[in-house]
Amino acid sequence: MALFLRPNAVRTALPRELIAACTISLQSLQCRNFSVLNRPPPNYPGHIPLTRIEKAGLAVGSAIMALRDPFRGDLIAALGEATATPYFIYRLHDAMLSSPTGRRILKDRPRISSKTMSMDYLRKLPENTVGRAYADWLDREGVSPDTRSEVQYIDDEECAYVMQRYRECHDFYHALTGLPIVREGEVALKAFEFANTLLPMTGLSMFAVTTLKKKERERFWKIYLPWAVKNGVKAKEVINVYWEEELENDVEGLRNRLGIEKPVDLREIRAKDRARRKAEKEAKERAGDTLGIN
């Protein structure tokens, strides 16, 4: 007679323990069947589900290649996504949930690009504003807000947005700190981001310090790493800044509210260093001419 019972009736008739065991077994089977040849459907547009082995391979490969070429944004992005789970992106997500502003950002899901922000408008803002500082930094560095890759490898849809938000806010961190996009500046900013966000990619990116010149390494260890650790740890979570609402506010006021001290101007230091080396070279050449060496 049980063969003719409706499915709901069968479910009711079976012991709960048996139903639970069957459900767990089915879920385990589905997990085991997840492979390169049998991927689950994407959780959001552009999502590419990866196995753990694939994520590990992506992390190692992108880390090695990014160390060789730190300006490959696609490699940095892949490294960030491959190493953000299972813990770190959820910690950042929880940080947003614990903040009223962070919760609003998660609800509104704003995006940062030249389509959502008028560069002409930002350039016309007073010099002391956040928006003007951002626009000036983009112009000075020759950077566009449209260069950030779309998140692909984070499975949770909302956590994928958190990573996208972090990625698109990166240039605001540059503008807030004044650090340029030269390798030395990127390493310093990544150190700050690691202390503030704990994303592994930002910490791994600091290995690029080994590729810096001797003087640059000395500056990093003496000036910028101490600054990054101190400010990254004590500052509020920068992921919770609603930048779109801060554009007309005073940039120094925002630094004070976040608890961030602007570091020594790296571009100025590098310019003085170049001028000093040039002067020394010219002095040697003049000395050589005087002695009749040249």
Count the Cβ atoms, other than its own, within 10 Å of residue 138: 19
Pairwise CA distance, residues 51 & 44, whole Å: 17
Count the alpha carbons within 13 Å of 197 in the hemisphere toward its beta carbon: 31
- Binding residue per annotation — 171? yes
Pairwise CA distance, residues 109 & 165, whole Å: 8
**CA dihedral of 233, 235, 239, 244, whole degrees rounded to 10:** -160
* C-beta pairs of 241-245 under 8 Å, 24+ apart in sequence: 241/101, 241/169, 241/172, 242/101, 242/104, 242/105, 242/110, 243/112, 243/130, 243/134, 243/169, 243/172, 244/110, 244/112, 244/116, 244/117
Provide DSSP, 108-126. Answer: H----STTTS-HHHHHTS-
- Binding residue per annotation — 174? yes
What are the start-end ranges of the E strands in the chain? none
Sequence-separated (6 or more) residues with CB below 8 Å from residue 261? 227, 230, 231, 255
Cα 139–chain centre separation: 21
Beta bridge partners of 129: 250
Sequence-separated (6 or more) residues with CB below 8 Å from residue 92? 162, 166, 197, 198, 199, 237, 239
Among 200, 221, 196, 197, smallest CA distance to 209 is for 221
Residues belonging to the binding site for Zn(2+) are 170-171, 174, 186
Binding residue positions: 170-171, 174, 186
